[in-house]
Each structure stands twice: as structure tokens, then as C-alpha cells.
Structure 1
Amino acid sequence: MLFDPSPPLFPADWAIAWGEDVYGLWQACEIAGVRQVMRWCPPGRFLMGSPPDEPERGDNEAQHEVALTCGFWLAETACTQALWQAVIGDNPARFREDPEHPVEQVSWDRCQDFLARVNRLRDDSLVLRLPTEAEWEYACRAGTRTAFSFGDALDTEQANYDGNYERTLPVQSFAPNPWGLYQMHGNVWEWCADWFGDYPAGPVLDPNGPADGASRVLRGGSWSVGGRLLRSAYRRRSAPDSRFDFIGLRLAGG
């Protein structure tokens, strides 16, 4: 059987709280004294990329079927400044009005240092990492096929984009998507694990991106860009050492 639809053991050894709500299974862990809620993303198939008739689509969004044979946990929010500072001991962010704002000005390389420290701090079975690009889009879509997880249109009551607020906002400022994940559209771009490259021509199983490259994948859009860049399928890239006030990260595990 290709997919194991059963959820993980529940509660897991790393959880301090757990439950199930209208969005699905969730568990909370404690990292350096900061609580982080993780959402379960079950195994499944989806169409990655965009259909030819989607407005504003890019040439690098060729639609193809992806099968994810293992479920995974994904943080319900982008990593906050509070969590980053608790682990690393400093706050690189530009927008520091509230520790619940997402951390930004973090490079992909620096995120690897952060993840290594996180996993050294925790003595349990969940290894935290960046999501793959396929995992990220699968979770962003949350079972939808529209341009955004909220439909084919987006406004500033649903996401932080286009400079409307001219800064980041706290990580739970808008309603979550159908799987309980906050601000997969807008606020900050989120690093993925993959090198950036062309999509495969046909169906693919558990993709991890190219073996090497020059740039890492960014997803989700940010406070500073137009709405078309927040589409679920939109892809962006940047060098692994890039640091900007519109780039952050989101934890994955499993």
C-alpha cells in the first residue's frame, strides 16, 4: 500500500499538550521554554504548480502530480522572534514591536544553525527541520486547488501583503487555512529545504528538489510584495546567505 493513512502515535513523546479540533490533529512542544504548536499534515496526493489558465502564473510552475507517502508535522505559525531569541540568544529582526512577530533577516545558512541548536536542546523523537518545497505547497493548499487556500482572490483582510501595513505583523494576525496553519500567504517569505530547480515533467514521489544548485527555495510571499506573489504555486529563490527583512522560516518535523 502506497499510503499509510493512520496518524502518528498520539500523544507523541515530545508533546506537552495535544488534541484534535476542526482543523485536525495538533500537538505542542516546548523549545527553550517557548511553546510551539505543530499541525499534522497527513500523507496524500496533490497537484503541485498552477494550471495554464491561472492568472499571473509563472513559467516555472508546471502543474504535476506529487505523492507524499509520509505525513509530517508543520508549525502552525512562522518561527517567532521569541523562539529564535530563546534558542540563539539574539534577535536579528528589523521589526521588533512584538516578540510574536516572525523572525526575519535570517539566511538559509543561519536557519541551519538554528535547527541544529533546536535539536540539541530537545531529547525526543521529533527532529525539526525546514519543510521541502512539496511539503510546503501541500500544506499551504490544505486540500484546495485554487490560487490561494482561501479561493481565487485575496484581500488585506486575509493576508499581510503589498506594503499595506509596511511591516510584519504577529504570526496569528489572520484566520488560518483549512489545516489550521497561519499566514502561509504573506507576512514573510519562508525558506524551504530544497535547492531551486525546474519541476519534473511527470508525476513524482516524495520530491526533495535538485541535488545541488545556487539558490534555495522561498515560498509564501511577504508584507512587501503584490498579491500575485502570494499564490500557493508561486516560487521564489535566493542565495543561501541572503538576509532580508521579508524572509523567515517555519519548522517542520517527522
Structure 2
Amino acid sequence: MASVLSIDPSWHPLINGCPPAWASEWGEDRYGVFVAFTLDAVTQRLRWIPPGRFRMGSLEEETQGLAESDVERVLFEQEHPRHAVIISRGFWLFDTPCTQALWEAVMDENPSRFKSPNRPVEQVSWDDVQTFIDRINARVPDLGLSLPTEAQWEHACRAGTETALYTGPIEILGENNAPALDPIAWYGGNSGVDFELEEGVDSSSWLDMQHPNPRSGTHPVGRKQPNPWGLTDMLGNVWELCADGLRHYEPTMAVDPEGPTEVGALRAAHGGSWADMARFCRSACRSGREPAFRYFDLGFRCARVQSS
């Protein structure tokens, strides 16, 4: 345990000025270190997520009174108890959800309902994403992408914070009205703002919308305020699939925890989406999805775990 606790969060793979062979750009800005690869003229940036310790899940006070059904009550109970987690190795993470442009460059097709190159790909299943990862890793030597575990995902989303959102607490004024979400997330309260595609979903009957609009859907990635580590759209836009399933939380500290990974196990998804009410767009909120499940609020972003 001592070696795990002595990790140096200030170390990163580019500290000696040696980018990987696949890098098309790299550098450091006010959010930290980044690197990118380019495939068929599509560039995807990854941010360095340092190792460290964080508190995973939510306090019971955060979800108290949020559930409006027994199903939601069970869902929110899965966020408890909040517990300490150590991520022992830093990793790279896409700074946005995977775009339709990148998906199409790898897969030669686009299953998304809200078609636009710079919007997140959706209507992809966990099984589909495994095929995508196998193909992109075959095309870009040593890229080594995977999905993040849900512990890695929440560590990256929180970026050192402990509140419901990475910008602070959330005050929910109505089902689709949480002003604190507006600067950082496309959710059920604002996803109709400036929505221009014909394939929009009829949102005219949605309750308590912060910005009422007749049609809603996903939006181009990277338009909202990033978290402290430079990641955008971690909340809202699309739910993001994780590598593992829903682990049962315990009050004890966990090191690099993983949920179920056997074939057919439900896979964790995090972050909420453009179609979700405010209570689902929180750093700790989690749900389970069948590996073959596809829907137009479900996407992903890839990770690259540093091997040394």
C-alpha cells in the first residue's frame, strides 16, 4: 500500500519532452498536459488525468428527495456510500465524447440520429464500442485505447472536487431547471437552445425547462465550460459507457476498483444526457446498460492507461 500512496500526481508522460510516436500534437496549457492523434484528417485530443485519491459516490444528503419513483430510488441508492478510492496510475482521456467524425473514420458508417461530424456519436452499444476500439488500435500502432473504468471516469469528472457538479453544488428548481448546469452541460433544460437539426425530439411538453424549446437533441462537443482538467461534456450531451459494470460500493477504501467484467454483465454509464432531467446530471450518478443496448442518448469517450 505504501507504494500506491506515494504516487506523484505531478509526474506525466511528457515531462521529459518525449511524445509518443502517434502524437500529432502535444503540449501544456492552463488545464494541464494534452496530446492528440490524427486519423483521416480527424484529430482527437486527450488530456492527462493524474493519479490520486478521491471520494467516489455521493453523500445521502445529495440524493435525498430526488427520487420520484421506486426505480429512481434504487438508482440513486447505488451512489452510496461515498468512499475513498485511489487511482494508482495516471491515464489519458479524450477531452470530449467520441465524435461522429472519428467514429466514421474508423467504422465507415454513422449510426447516430443527430447526424453532424462534431456531435457525439450515439446509438452505439458497449459491444459496438469494443469493435471500434479494436479497429482504431489496429490502425494506430501503440495507441492502446480502452474504455475507462467507472472509477477512472468519476475521478476524471470530479477533477479534485467533491460537490455534486465539478463547479459546485446543484440547486434543482424544477425537473429540467438547474441553473448551475447551464454553463457546463447540455441537459433536459437547455438542449433545445439553438438546436438546428431536423431530427430533433419534440420537447415542447417537457416540464419546467430552464429554456423552453420545441425540439431538442445533442449538441456539438466542446461548447460548454470544461472541468478543471480540461474535459468538456462530462455531464450532459450523452451518457458515457465505462469498461466495467456497476460495482457494489463499500465504506472502505478501494484501490483501482473494477466492477463486473464478465461477458453479458451490465456496463456502467455516467454523466447524464441532453434528454435527462437535472437530477441525473451529477458527477456521482450512474446507471447500468445491457452490452448490446443502443439509444440516442448513449455514447462514450476513450482512455489510454499509462503503462509506466
Common fold, TM-score beyond 0.5?
yes
Partner secondary structure for residue 55 of structure 2: strand
Q: Greater shift after overlay, 27-36 or 225-234? A: 27-36
Residue 106 of structure 1, aligned match among 124, 127, 135: 124
Largest Rg, 1 or 2: 2
| Cα distance in 2, alignment partners of residues 194 and 230 from structure 1 | 20
Matches within 5 A, 1:196-215: 196-212=246-262, 214-215=265-266
C-alpha contact 1:130 1:193 (8 A) present in aligned 2 = yes
- Say yes or no: does 1:95 pair with 2:114: yes
CA deviation vs aligned residue, 1:142-170 (integer Å, no higher than 9, x gap): 11111001111223333111163210000
The aligned runs of 1:1-254 (5 Å cut-off) are 1-2=3-4, 3-5=7-9, 6-9=11-14, 10=17, 11-55=19-63, 56=66, 58-61=76-79, 62-96=81-115, 98-124=116-142, 126-153=143-170, 154-162=180-188, 164=190, 165=192, 166-212=216-262, 214-254=265-305
Q: Kindly indicate whether the alpha-carbon contact (under 8 Å) linking 2:243 and 2:261 is maintained by their aligned counterparts in 1.
A: no
Runs of 4+ in 1 over 4 A off after TM superposition: none
- Paired residues, number: 252
DSSP 3-state at the match of 1:113: helix
Contact 2:187 2:277 in 1 (8 A): yes
Where do 5+ consecutive residues of structure 2 fail to align? Answer: 68-75, 171-179, 193-215
Give the SS at the match of 2:112. Answer: coil
Distance 1:107 1:217 in 2: 12
Give me the whole-angstrom Cα distance separating, in 2, the residues matched to 1:108 and 1:144: 28
Q: Give 3-state SS (helix, strand or coil) of 1:67's partner.
A: strand
Which letter does structure 1 place at the counterpart of 2:296? Answer: D
Extract unaligned runs of 5+ from structure 1.
none
Partners of 2:183 and 2:225 within 8 A in 1: no
Q: Letter of the aligned partner of 2:254 in structure 1?
A: V
Distance of aligned partners of 1:4 and 1:155 in 2 relative to their CA distance in 1, 3 Å threshold: closer
> Within 2, Cα distance between the matches of 1:23 and 1:155?
20
Higher deviation after alignment, 208-217 or 19-28: 208-217
RMSD, matched Cα:
1.5
Deviations 1:78-137 (A, max 9, x none): 0000000000000000001x210000000000000000000000113x300101000000
Equivalent position amino acid for 2:151 in 1:
A
Shift of 1:199: 1.6
Percent identity, aligned pairs only, is 49
Tell me how far apart the structure 1 counterparts of residues 261 and 182 of structure 2 sit (CA, whole Å).
Answer: 38
Cα separation, 1, equivalents of 2:265 and 2:149: 17
Mapped to 2, the partners of 1:31 and 1:241 lie a distance apart of 27
Q: Give SS of 2:288's match.
A: strand
Q: Retained in 2: the 8 A contact 1:84–1:90? A: yes
Q: Is the 8 A contact 1:142 1:178 kept in 2?
A: yes
Structure 1 counterpart of 2:186, one-letter code: N
